Amino acid sequence: MGIMEILMIIIPTTLLWAAPLIFTALGGTFSERSGVVNIGLEGLMVIGAFTAIVFNLTFVDTFGAFTPWVSLVAAMVVGILFSLIHAVASITLRADQTVSGVAINLLAVGVALFLVKRIYDKGQTDIIQRGFSKVDIPILSDIPVIGPIFFSNTYYTSFVAILFAVIAWYVIYKTKFGLRLRAVGEHPMAADTMGINVTKMRYYGVLISGALGGIGGGVYAQAISSDFGHATISGQGFMALAAMIFGKWHPLGAMGAALFFGFAQSLSIIGSSLPFLENIPNVYLLIAPYVLTIIALTGFIGRADAPKASGVPYIKGSR
């Protein structure tokens, strides 16, 4: 097997697995940058995956080829609504943000499976007819060398994810909104003194994370799993959380980390078909994202520091 063929297998698979992680990790970045820890990313992905699949199954006849994209919008909207619970609890009601996030995860699985059984009378949905499918991207796939490796046999969603990462970087670092968001996450009292509405900015942060987490789940469900059951989302949300930390709370860093984790995931799946990897137990690839994140946190690969006010509810007037 030549290097070209290997790359043609690995890179599209990496992009496929990375896309949901990129979306969700970006969501986490927005939330944490505003000062709200969001352990509930996993739950948001669950809700997104559930919504996308149900919407897709129900409206496939109406929207035809556009169904997966419309379903993604539905997943985004429901993700926003669901993250509102986390926002109300952790911002307005001053709940412990980690506990609230854990509750989001428990609630998402409960609600999604409850509704699946209510709607379909079984524990798992049918398989969707129209998911995201492999495409050769027009024009770009004709470029020699790069074309076949990056733009053939791939999914549009992966490139949308990368585009989102660039947009997120622009929003967080180059706009007034982003400056305020970061200010609220670093030093809410100072931001408040300058007339920034801390509560509003934090609501934005959490709701954006709901939107992106919902999209992430929707992408995973429609590109990878194709149905929804209790094990559809199993750890992708936490892996996205890891990507966000590994990327040092920076949108492009999060994207890079998500791509790397997607690479590790894809190797653990297709590794046995690659000549140089068949003898390595895939457990190493499975645990790599998590172990690397721990190592990154201990500071061996440059220190990763969370936004300063992350995890602390802001109470006006308290010191």
269 binds other proteins (CB under 8 A): no
Query: What letters, b where the CB count within 10 A reaches 16 and e where it falls short, cover 224-261?
Result: bbbbbbeebbeebbbbbbbbbbbbbbbbbbbbbbbbbb
316 binds other proteins (CB under 8 A): no
Judged by beta carbon, residue 72 or residue 116, the one nearer other proteins is 116
Residues ≥6 apart with Cβ < 8 Å to 232: 46, 49, 220, 221, 225
Judged by beta carbon, residue 115 or residue 171, the one nearer other proteins is 115
Q: What is the CA radius of gyration of the chain?
A: 20
CB of 110 to other proteins, least distance (A): 3
Judged by beta carbon, residue 105 or residue 158, the one nearer other proteins is 105
Among residues 30, 82, 238, 249, the one that binds other proteins under rule CB under 8 A: 238
How far is it, in rounded angstroms, from Cα 239 to Cα 257? 10
Judged by beta carbon, residue 3 or residue 231, the one nearer other proteins is 231
Among residues 135, 163, 194, 294, the one that binds other proteins under rule CB under 8 A: 294
Contact 23, 165 (CB under 8 A): no
Site string for other proteins, 178-217 (x = CB under 8 A): ----------------------------------------
Among residues 4, 93, 143, 163, the one that binds other proteins under rule CB under 8 A: 93
How far is it, in rounded angstroms, from Cα 171 to Cα 196? 17
231 binds other proteins (CB under 8 A): yes
- Which is nearest to 188 in space by CA: 202, 208, 209? 202
Using CB under 8 A as the binding rule, the residues of this chain from 95 to 114 that contact other proteins are 95-96, 98-100, 102-107, 109-111, 113-114
Residue 141 burial (CB < 10 Å; 0-12/13-18/19+)?
A: middle
Other Cβ atoms closer than 10 A to 90: 27
Angle at 160 (CA atoms; ends 158, 163), nearest 5 degrees: 115
CB of 160 to other proteins, least distance (A): 27
278 binds other proteins (CB under 8 A): no
Among residues 117, 134, 200, 308, the one that binds other proteins under rule CB under 8 A: 117
Using CB under 8 A as the binding rule, the residues of this chain from 52 to 91 that contact other proteins are 85, 89
Contact 304, 248 (CB under 8 A): yes
Residues engaged in binding other proteins (CB under 8 A): 37, 39, 85, 89, 93-96, 98-100, 102-107, 109-111, 113-114, 117-118, 230-231, 234-235, 238-239, 241-242, 245, 281, 283, 286-287, 290-291, 293-294, 297-299, 306
